[in-house]
Structure 1
Amino acid sequence: MAQNSEYAKDICQLCADICQKCADECAKHDADHCQACAQACQQCANACASIAA
């Protein structure tokens, strides 16, 4: 991103997709650490998606 790569948005979208899948999976489990992971991954997914947009 610092070098204005033509692939920066693609990489951010891939990151958003991966983090969203993690968030969705962890959210299915009731354990506190799973819910914390789901929340962190959702925040990451949102941040990456906003960059990719």
Structure 2
Amino acid sequence: CSRVFDRSWNLKSHVATHDRHHPKPHVCPHRSCGRAFRRKHDLKRHRDSIHQD
């Protein structure tokens, strides 16, 4: 990935999205979904765009 970040925290957070072994603690609560995310705001974006209830 060639993304560039101004802040080291943003870079660390982004790098974690590429790490297959990094835990995904934020699990979508919808029964048939099963998706999980490393960052809470990614789960929120998923719920807002996919489930919209």
**TM-score, normalization: structure 1?**
0.27
Structure number with higher relative contact order (C-alpha < 8 Å, ≥ 6 residues apart)? 1
**TM-score, normalization: structure 2?**
0.27
Whichever structure has more helix as a proportion of its residues is: 1
Whichever structure has more strand as a proportion of its residues is: 2
